[in-house]
């Protein structure tokens, strides 16, 4: 990038801070079938230096110096043949689990909810997140976790997730982009029925059992499951090899934050004052900050609501018996 380009980018620095808002609006439009309008907004964002190309829209972290490609040559990574070598062992262990819901694994959701996926069901079992080992899940999958433990790039030194993903028939993961182009994502096909496919950027592919695919999920991607059996893949995030030393050090410094610091950061960003497990340890009770509580109480009293919730992208409100009572 030339100095003139730097100056132009600096001019639009404030716009780049609103990547998440751009990304959510674009993905929302795309999920509603308004692809032309979504693409028009993406083109506008690129013209204003929010991103470099319309199909690559990371909302959290964007390193302009990293060359972008939807699919990456797997021969660049030593651990690809290692994972493929252990495929049969991983497959046998995952098959022995059966229905993941019986073990408490929950449907996938995230910052794009409620339009991240439509219909069907999508579940995951997280083994690692941001270098932290999920002990209970790893205990349930000792073979798979032992294989991963030999790959620090996707465990201790990873920014992101290592998880098993179950996608069920009738599910459409709608077009969206991952949070950063500073990492890549590996898919190892475990059980791949007919009728499933994935698009990343302008490339479309079908997984192969026992074979790895490496994608840059900061590119727009979507998945269709039009088959009759669950699709299962092992998904592993790792830092992009083109990341420079300074940026890598900054990310690793963030990863080495204590878990308490990360939780505190989450509470602050989510405007939450307190989180509690209920007596059974099955549900989480969240308490917003006093300012948010005051605002919500005022609005709910004005509207006469006793409770409100997000039900698959629709507001569900329960009225108080006498809305006139303060």
Report whether pLDDT(83) > 60. yes
Strand 272-277 and strand 284-288: the pairing is antiparallel
Mean pLDDT of the chain: 85
Instruction: Identify the band that residue 29 occupies on the pLDDT scale cut at 50, 70 and 90.
Output: confident
Q: What is the pLDDT of residue 258?
A: 67
> 31: closest CA among 211, 166, 130, 173?
173
Instruction: Identify the band that residue 114 occupies on the pLDDT scale cut at 50, 70 and 90.
Output: very low
Instruction: Provide the residue ranges of all domains of the chain, joining segments of one domain with +.
Output: 3-47, 71-256, 261-319
pLDDT in tens, 35-50: 899 999 999 989 988 8
Per-residue pLDDT, averaged over 97-101, amounts to 75
Per-residue pLDDT, averaged over 267-293, amounts to 80
pLDDT in tens, 47-79: 988 899 999 999 888 888 898 899 999 999 999
Q: What is the pLDDT of residue 198?
A: 98
Report whether pLDDT(125) > 80. yes
pLDDT in tens, 196-247: 999 999 999 999 999 999 999 999 999 999 999 999 999 999 999 999 888 8
Q: Which CATH class is domain 71-256?
A: mainly beta
Q: What is the pLDDT of residue 115?
A: 60
Report whether pLDDT(300) > 50. yes
Let me know: does 204 contact 84? Beta carbons within 8 Å.
no
The DSSP code for 180 is: B
What's the Cα-to-Cα distance from 222 to each of 55, 200, 218, 305, 322, rounded to whole Å? 12, 7, 12, 37, 46
Question: pTM higher than 0.85 for the full model?
Answer: no
How many other C-beta atoms lie within 10 A of the C-beta of residue 54?
A: 18
Strand order from edge to edge, sheet including 203-205: 117-118, 172-176, 221-225, 196-200, 203-205
């Amino acid at each position: 990038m030339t100095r003139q380009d730097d100056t132009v980018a600096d001019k639009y620095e404030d716009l780049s801070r609103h990547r998440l808002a751009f990304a959510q609006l674009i993905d929302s439009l795309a999920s509603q079938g308004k692809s032309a309008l979504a693409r028009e907004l993406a083109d506008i964002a690129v013209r204003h230096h929010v991103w470099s190309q319309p199909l690559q829209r990371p909302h959290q972290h964007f390193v302009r110096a990293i060359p972008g490609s939807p699919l990456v040559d797997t021969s660049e990574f030593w651990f690809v043949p290692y994972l493929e070598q252990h495929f049969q062992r991983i497959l046998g262990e995952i098959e022995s689990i059966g229905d993941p819901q019986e073990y408490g694994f929950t449907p996938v959701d995230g910052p794009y909810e409620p339009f991240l996926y439509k219909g069907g069901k999508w579940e995951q079992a997280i083994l690692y997140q941001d270098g932290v080992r999920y002990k209970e899940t790893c205990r349930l999958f000792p073979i798979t976790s032992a294989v991963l433990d030999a790959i620090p790039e996707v465990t201790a030194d990873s920014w992101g997730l290592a998880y098993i993903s179950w996608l069920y028939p009738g599910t459409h993961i709608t077009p969206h982009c991952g949070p950063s182009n500073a990492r890549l994502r590996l898919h190892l096909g475990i059980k791949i029925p007919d009728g499933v496919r994935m698009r990343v950027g302008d490339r479309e592919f079908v997984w192969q059992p026992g074979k790895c695919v490496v994608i840059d999920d900061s590119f727009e991607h979507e998945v269709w499951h039009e088959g009759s059996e669950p699709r299962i893949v092992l998904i592993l995030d790792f830092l992009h090899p083109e990341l420079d030393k300074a940026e890598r050090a900054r990310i690793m410094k963030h990863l080495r934050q204590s878990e308490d610091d990360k939780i505190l950061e989450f509470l602050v960003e989510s405007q939450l004052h307190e989180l509690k497990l209920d007596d059974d340890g099955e549900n989480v009770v969240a308490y917003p900050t006093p300012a948010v509580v005051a605002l919500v109480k005022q609005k709910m009293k004005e509207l006469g609501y006793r409770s409100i919730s997000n039900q698959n992208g629709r507001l569900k409100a329960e009225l108080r018996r006498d809305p006139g009572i303060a």
